[in-house]
Structure 1
Amino acid sequence: MMRDPNKIFHLAIPCKNLDETVVFYEKLGCKLARKYDDRVTFNFFGDQVVCHLSPEHIDLTPKMYPRHFGVTFTNKQEFLQLLDEVQKNELPFFQELTSRFKGKQEEHLMFFLVDPANNLLEFKFYHDTTMAY
């Protein structure tokens, strides 16, 4: 089943400092929707990400697998525009731009960012968009 455009995916993640979280996600291009004493909510590329203040739940040694989240682009130009903005805004990479599964149908470009609470964000673009799912 394909995603129904009238539904918004929701993800809740920990953060250690609300102000630095807002700065990071706004530099990423996410719009701040709400800010409370214990959480901030963003429009994360059309979905909802809520960062809950919980410094005791921060992963001190994050790894790409198995826990990360992000966006799969179907438009290469939009993917490259985001990469350009990330670089201009000097957001911290966990992994620089690379190609995965080179030469295979599922080959894709990808990079990982790390937010101020060590949450890992993956952004990718499949050359063959039928491989996105």
Structure 2
Amino acid sequence: MRKTNKVFHLAIPCKDLEETADFYKKLGCQLARRYDDRVTFDFFGDQVVCHLSPENIDEKPKMYPRHYGITFLDKEEYDRTLDYAVKEDLPFFHEPMVRFKGRQEEHMTFFLIDPSNNLLEFKYYHDPFMVY
């Protein structure tokens, strides 16, 4: 289990710092730092750094195998994030759905796509033992 003194770090490419900053702020992420070539966010308690790298943008992203996101342990927090994404008119890559219905690993999920075609998944497992 993760200790509270650790923060996961993820670096991803972006094509435009301004639109990237706008997207992540609308998602509720706190801007931590901004430089000429990157922006850093508090992404739900972890660190996401968006590096200006327009030549590395995936023009045809697919959900699998490359995406990142949050697995919520609290359904209300998942619901609030979904409601917030809808309210802020953030672009969905895949609308909310239930995966593995009727199985122990059943979970609710939705995917957003940021301005640089990075895919973000948000999910909630009904059985907390299935998180890992």
Normalising to structure 1: TM-score of the pair? Answer: 0.99
Superposition RMSD in Å: 0.3
Partner of residue 105, structure 2: 106
Partner of residue 9, structure 2: 10
Partner of residue 131, structure 2: 132
Partner of residue 123, structure 1: 122
In the TM superposition, residue 117 of structure 1 has moved relative to its aligned partner by 0.2
Q: Which amino acid aligns with 1:23?
A: D
Distance, in Å, in 2 between the alignment partners of 1:54 and 1:78 is 32
Partner of residue 65, structure 2: 66
The sequence identity of aligned pairs, in percent, is 69
Q: Which amino acid aligns with 2:42?
A: N
Q: Deviations over 1:61-94 (max 9, x none)?
A: 0000000000000100000000000000000000
Partner of residue 19, structure 1: 18
Distance, in Å, in 2 between the alignment partners of 1:82 and 1:15 is 23
Tell me the SS of whatever aligns to 2:4. coil
Gaps of 5+ in 1: none
Q: Deviations over 1:92-117 (max 9, x none)?
A: 00000000000000000000000000
Tell me the SS of whatever aligns to 2:3. coil
Q: Deviations over 1:26-45 (max 9, x none)?
A: 00000000000000000000
Q: Which amino acid aligns with 1:79?
A: Y
Gaps of 5+ in 2: none
